[in-house]
Chains A and B, each alone.
Chain A
């Protein structure tokens, strides 16, 4: 398998101050968060946000990573719709299980993802917790493998559970992935 490219291309959206780099999209996000925190839409708030964001990036510099984030509106809508439905269904199931008489049995499954993007791996790992019945136990970023605890899933239901995680990965790729990643996920899938 080919490792993901580690050295990112120099982004045109970077502002360089000495050896520190200020990434403009990140600065914008931090400013928006700042304004949401104070719940005020005003020029002073915006300026304050820019100031604090700049300070944060100067004081706590992060290594640059190649995100490879693309937003696909249709894929994103499908992903969000599924996310909400999954959250409702899985909450109902856990509530039912917690009032059940006997403790549910469970399995720990290894699920080798097909994506090779750290971003997609992270989003998938976070969303696995929302899929009915599963919670993440361990992530191998080297082999892109998720270890998932499936509540109420005994031996016979394991394959079905595995298929659900693969379907989630595909939705994540279609919502956030580059074209290359989408193709990789589709090609590698035998589900």
Chain B
């Protein structure tokens, strides 16, 4: 096998893994009971899937300087997903869209002033 062939195979594997993870994230989105749990699928398998797909693509494109674009995609995904999910969680929590029966300890409730 030549060098490029090996690289091609690695990138195929990474692309498939990334796609599988994104699929799993979709399953989690459907199956988890409330918004707070669903956020975990957006924050982890989804980001990981995107990272794998980008690395797989990057390996095939490699000498092409457009690889830098993929790097930016991953960087901003990692930076912005937590911010977005934090806002969603905040709103969900304050409007009571939380499954209380699934929560063991809640140290936020004590600290929020009643309104």
Contacts and interface: CB of A to CB of B under 8 A. Distances in A.
Q: What's the dominant secondary structure at chain A's contact region?
A: mixed
Contacts of B47: 87, 91, 130
A88 B48 contact: yes
A39 B67 CA distance: 7
Contact of B43 (A98, A110, A130, A138): A130
A154 interface: yes
B12 interface: no
A40 B65 contact: yes
A1 interface: no
Given A87-B48, A91-B45, A98-B28, A137 B90 contact: yes
Given A37-B72, A39-B67, A94 B45 contact: yes
Nearest to B102: A105
A136 B21 contact: no
B89 A39 contact: no
Interface stretch (A46-54, A145-153, A168-176): A145-153
Interface in A8-42: 33, 35-37, 39-41
Interface residues of A, number: 43
Contacts of B85: 129, 135-136
Interface string B12-31: 00000000010011011001
A87 B44 contact: yes
A141 to B, nearest CB: 12
A107 B89 contact: no
B111 interface: yes
A90 interface: yes
Contact of B104 (A91, A105, A125, A129): A105
A135 B103 contact: no
A149 B44 CA distance: 14
A169 B75 CA distance: 20
Contacts of B89: 135-138, 149
Contact of B108 (A37, A99, A110, A151): A110
A150 B99 CA distance: 14
Interface in B35-87: 36-37, 39-41, 43-45, 47-49, 51, 64-69, 71-72, 78-79, 81-83, 85-86
Given A87-B47, A126-B79, A105 B93 contact: no
Closest 6 pairs (CB-CB, A-B): A98-B28, A39-B66, A36-B68, A110-B107, A91-B48, A129-B82
Given A36-B72, A94-B24, A139-B86, 19 more contacts: A40-B65, A93-B44, A94-B40, A95-B24, A97-B32, A98-B41, A103-B102, A105-B104, A106-B37, A107-B104, A108-B103, A108-B107, A126-B82, A128-B82, A129-B43, A135-B39, A138-B93, A155-B104, A155-B105
